[in-house]
Structure 1
């Protein structure tokens, strides 16, 4: 069973439907015991970094997410959920993150390009041996974001995209992974990436 962590921010319905379509049992929940007993967890997110961390702290789900990561079970952050994995963000002030991945989240610098970065961009695989990229070829996925992550450790970068600069797209360290784009809205490649994550959870797919 896969737990999608409901802390009041995120595309919970679209992510859960994508997991269901891939043949996996899924529950959207804020119940700490259910999350802890799941085979893996997904942390989605849409909105502001500071608000998200405030919600995680107020609900006590911050500790739950950290416990999932410490347990060795696969954890996937999506969009804002990926950014929350990092140490801090400069979005509307300075905010501490979950600090599961060292690094910070910064706003795109003003330039001759549009902010937010919105649309389909091609991934560049930096670690094709990563289990998330198993059997896949580089292709296009769907992004919507005004802030992007700068990992301290280059080894945590699994894939990037180019949006007038190198932009972090997929990160990972041990059992903790993140995708800046929305895999559930990214067509066949997005679903294949999500399927590869789910396979790491060890749960049997009905498909």
Structure 2
């Protein structure tokens, strides 16, 4: 299986590569458009700030490519947020795949949300063999509100969408590659979609 991990300089790729290796797969870190378009599965990671990440995507031509991919695509953390219409972080226009605008948590809670939290309302093949209230690892200051494309929610200050799906596009706010066996199951599910 050909797995492309989109390389646009938005860090923390190694833990994804290690998680794939543990499952017996190899992920190729690349910004090669032809390779990404021909991959069986595409992982769109992201750690960092939305507006600078979006600038890098535009500069590399990937901003035009990603929304038109037809194979299963998994956005992780900032990757998921960039797949939304916009983000309050740096007043960023996103890729517009998911019809929702990313907002910042209020100062009523500790920001960023960092650590383990539960996922609920699981509603996708992405969560096959995953239990309600399973713990996932999260680090984020911005969130996608509850919306039509939500396939999992998490509560922090209030319920928000911790996973989204539209057609062949999937996004998770949490880091499955850092969430132990339960996270590994989600990666495995993505690879068998």
Corresponding residue for residue 83 of structure 1: 81
Q: CA deviation at 1:126?
A: 4.1
Kindly report which structure 2 residues correspond to 1:105-120, keeping only aligned pairs within 5 A, or say none. Answer: 105-111=102-108, 113-120=109-116
Q: Which moved further from structure 2: 178-187 or 57-66?
A: 57-66
CA distance in structure 2 between the aligned counterparts of 1:10 and 1:101, rounded to whole angstroms? 23
How far, CA to CA, are the matches of 2:21 and 2:122 in structure 1? 29
Secondary structure of the residue aligned to 1:150 is: coil
Distance 1:14 1:126, change over 3 A: closer
Match of 2:155 in 1: 162
Runs of 4+ in 1 over 3 A off after TM superposition: none
Contact kept? 2:117, 2:154, Cα under 8 Å? yes
Shift of 1:17: 1.4
> TM-score normalized by structure 2?
0.95
- In the alignment, the residues of structure 1 paired with residue 130 and residue 92 of structure 2 have an alpha-carbon distance, to the nearest angstrom, of 35
Counterpart position of 2:137: 142
TM-score (norm 1): 0.89
- Unaligned 5+ runs, structure 1: 201-207
- Number of aligned residue pairs: 191
* Structure-to-structure mapping, 1:1-207, within 5 angstroms: 1-68=2-69, 71=70, 73-92=71-90, 94-111=91-108, 113-127=109-123, 130-138=124-132, 139-150=134-145, 153-154=147-148, 156-200=149-193
- Let me know the Cα RMSD of the aligned residues: 1.1
- Report SS of the residue matched to 2:164: strand
Matches of 2:15 and 2:110 in 1, distance apart? 26
Name the CA distance, whole Å, in 1 between partners of 2:122 and 2:3.
27
Q: Distance between the aligned counterparts of 2:192 and 2:122, measured in 1?
A: 21
- Whole-Å Cα distance in 1 between the matches of residues 122 and 28 of structure 2? 32
Taking the aligned partners of 2:68 and 2:100, their CA distance within structure 1 comes to 20
